């Protein structure tokens, strides 16, 4: 009886190791919310969460879908079954409380915010130009975003996915994908960048924008995407000044 048990265990280990090295992988997750998971052997036994995903969120939190919100692999299973997104406590409109977290596959009905970064108030920096990538070929996808540095340049900085959460130190993505490289070209030497899509933020970090005439733009975490900003031609305007 013991011999058969050993054979079963060895068979499972061999299959699991094979799935780890020959499973389906995604090279770049930048602005791609269509990833639906891998096809390896382990995906059958480490399923996606049914309670937290594209169309549902953990009770007590609200998602900010203006940032990365998709499936990735932070557990090193070889399948993109961990759902990662930016969240903040529900009912508290305070960006300082926001943090990035992953609802881990295979942990149905458990906390979906344990694998996370610290909050913005604790020092975590956010950027709308964010993505996930296995930067060090470790099998885990790290969370990266383009951040302004002390010298005024913009660099793709990442938080490494560890065993239990994301690390607290940023490191430079040594080989960002082509789309990120294109974004970095946009940022090179930039003086101001007002997208006015669903916020009134200067992405170059040099300007303060104030408004008058009751002009508004929806800056909620999950707004419909606008085509820009429209003025009434009478008393509405934006005032742009350096900070």
Question: Could you tell me if residue 176 is inside a domain?
Answer: yes
Q: Tell me the C-alpha to C-alpha distance, in Å, between residue 230 and each of 49, 72, 224, 233, 234.
A: 41, 37, 15, 9, 12
Residue 49 corresponds to which tokens in the numbers above?
């969460």
Tell me which residue has tokens 């992405």: 203
CB contact at 8 A, 76 and 139: yes
Question: Could you tell me if residue 17 is inside a domain?
Answer: no
Are both 228 and 129 inside the same structural domain?
no
Are both 179 and 220 inside the same structural domain?
no
Q: Tell me, what's the pLDDT at 38? A: 47
CB contact at 8 A, 113 and 61: yes
Question: Could you tell me if residue 13 is inside a domain?
Answer: no
CB contact at 8 A, 110 and 84: no
Question: Could you tell me if residue 203 is inside a domain?
Answer: yes
Distance CA 168, CA 161 (A): 10
> Which mean pLDDT values do the consecutive 10-residue runs of the chain (243 residues) have?
60 56 37 42 76 94 94 94 96 91 94 97 96 95 97 97 96 96 94 85 87 77 72 82 64
Are both 215 and 109 inside the same structural domain?
no
Element (H, E) at 97: none
Distance CA 214, CA 216 (A): 6
Domain-terminating residue out of 187, 207, 224: 187
Are both 113 and 150 inside the same structural domain?
yes
Q: Tell me, what's the pLDDT at 2? A: 63
Question: Could you tell me if residue 15 is inside a domain?
Answer: no
How many of the other CB atoms lie within 10 Å of CB of 180?
A: 21
Domain limits for position 240: 192-243
Domain-terminating residue out of 151, 166, 187: 187
CB contact at 8 A, 129 and 152: no
- Cα dihedral 70/75/77/83 (nearest 10): -20
Question: Could you tell me if residue 199 is inside a domain?
Answer: yes
Are both 182 and 233 inside the same structural domain?
no
Are both 106 and 209 inside the same structural domain?
no
Residue 238 corresponds to which tokens in the numbers above?
């934006």
CB contact at 8 A, 206 and 243: yes
Distance CA 130, CA 157 (A): 9
Are both 105 and 199 inside the same structural domain?
no
């Amino acid at each position: 009886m013991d011999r058969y048990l050993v054979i079963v265990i060895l068979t499972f280990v061999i299959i699991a190791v094979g799935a780890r090295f020959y499973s389906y992988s995604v090279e770049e997750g930048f602005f791609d919310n269509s990833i639906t998971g891998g096809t390896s052997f382990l995906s059958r036994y480490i399923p996606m969460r049914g309670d937290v995903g594209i169309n549902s969120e953990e009770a007590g939190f609200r998602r900010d879908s203006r940032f990365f919100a998709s499936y990735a692999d932070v557990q090193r299973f070889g399948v993109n079954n961990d759902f990662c997104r930016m969240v903040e406590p529900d009912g508290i409109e305070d960006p300082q409380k926001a943090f990035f977290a992953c609802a881990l596959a295979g942990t149905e009905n458990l906390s979906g915010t344990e694998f996370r970064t610290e909050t913005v108030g604790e020092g975590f920096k956010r950027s709308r130009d964010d993505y996930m990538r296995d930067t060090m070929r470790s099998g885990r996808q790290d969370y990266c975003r383009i951040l302004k540095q002390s010298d005024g340049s913009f660099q793709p900085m990442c938080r490494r996915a560890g065993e239990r959460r994301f690390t607290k130190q940023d490191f430079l993505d040594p080989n960002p994908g082509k789309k990120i490289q294109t974004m970095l070209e946009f940022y090179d030497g930039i003086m101001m960048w007002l997208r006015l899509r669903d916020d009134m933020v200067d992405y170059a970090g040099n300007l303060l924008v104030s408004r008058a005439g009751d002009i508004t733009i929806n800056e909620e975490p999950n707004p419909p995407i606008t085509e820009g900003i429209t003025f009434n031609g009478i008393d509405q305007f934006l005032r742009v000044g350096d900070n």
